[in-house]
Amino acid sequence: MSLKMIEKEGFEFVQGGICAAKGFRANGLNCGLNPDREKYDLALFASDEICDAAAVYTTNLVKGAPILVTQEHLKQTGHKLRAVIANSKNANTCNADGVEKAEKMCALAAAELGIVPQQVGVASTGVIGENLKMEPIESHIHELAGGLTSDGGGRAEYAIMTTDTVSKEVAVSFELGGKTCHIGGMAKGSGMIHPNMATTLNFITTDAAIGHEALQKALSELVQITYNCLSVDGDTSTNDMILVMANGLAGNREVTSEETGFDVTKAEPKSDYEKFYTALWLVLVNLTRMLAADGEGAGKFVSCRVEGAKAREDAITLAKSVISSSLVKCAMFGEDANCGRVICALGYAGVSIDISGVDIDLTSEAGVMPAYRGGYAVAFDEEFAKKVLEQDEIEIVVRLKEGKAQGCAWGCDLTYDYVRINGDYRS
């Protein structure tokens, strides 16, 4: 399925993923962790200059060893990073020697790059609780570092993918004080994905100059309306991480944080911070939607927009409840306009709303189908409903009579393939 991009005037989508920003080079290869030698499993990317960094991690109490090591490194360097090494096929989580091996991965990369290990972040994704083999990484680190190029973003992305069926890269260019800046990112999905954390592995690079504090503020705020509005299967992973690195090579005056309070989905950005914030949002929100559309086994991209809520948080909670419902997901898979399941999911979301004020529409490129008005089902034409639901992208629109806030959440349908993929994930 080809997903529509969320766009904004003054911000141009460009190629290159994490290498779109000046001074970033990347590589990926198969080192042998994955027995399928066609599939890459080890990624490295590095900046020519030291970067200010910001990160958001999983809220799961069980945290992968790479998360612990990256957190510690950022603390030791005062949030400065030069490079990231990442592998797929093995999460290096719940292993007694996990931290030691994650540190070793950083040390191997640092030795090749001639930097200190603390300036390297590390990430792993794959099976939890299996011993990570170090030999394949040790024997390929030289080749990996030697192949770093400014067009290698796609290779790094291919190396971090697990059950993802398509690569997920977004980059935008924009201007700050007459200087052209870039933000680019890559992400991997595609199961064990649920709101309330930084979902999955996501690496974002920028050549804009922006300090750690402003970067962290922008990231933490934007995660609430992007990654945390995503659910594939309700499982919060142990290894989720979003890491942003800014090397300043665009030459702009350093962006500092502001209390903007502006609505990134609607308002025009004015200050440098608002512009950077908007560009980062465009990368995050489009990566989030790509993750939803490529959720494990997904056949359809399903989003829910809730309007007329008391607060944005309420709207997002309600929208998440709808797109997380197994029954709504199955109905979307079956192209069945069973909106009783939508109003049911609104009812158990834990947000106090007046059900007698609920309107629901099913929408897609084929049109808008009114399903509920004032809390009651309305008669509809089954043939038209089928046409609306046959499309690859479905938006469920919910209107409340509580206030003026709105929010979106993104997910996918529940299919035979999700069950197949996850019935036998370790092999």
Residues involved in catalysis: 199
* Shortest CB 330 distance to its own copies, Å: 3
In the bound state with its own copies, the residue whose beta carbon lies nearer, of 270 and 401, is 401
Nearest to 203 by CA among 352, 5, 47, 36: 47
* Shortest CB 236 distance to its own copies, Å: 4
In the bound state with its own copies, the residue whose beta carbon lies nearer, of 252 and 317, is 317
User: What residue ranges bind its own copies (CB under 8 A)?
Assistant: 59-63, 91, 93-96, 127-130, 191-192, 194, 196, 233-238, 324-327, 330-331, 333-334, 336, 338-341, 343-348, 352-353, 355, 371-372, 375-377, 414-416, 418-427
* Shortest CB 352 distance to its own copies, Å: 8
* Shortest CB 190 distance to its own copies, Å: 12
* Shortest CB 188 distance to its own copies, Å: 16
In the bound state with its own copies, the residue whose beta carbon lies nearer, of 9 and 382, is 382
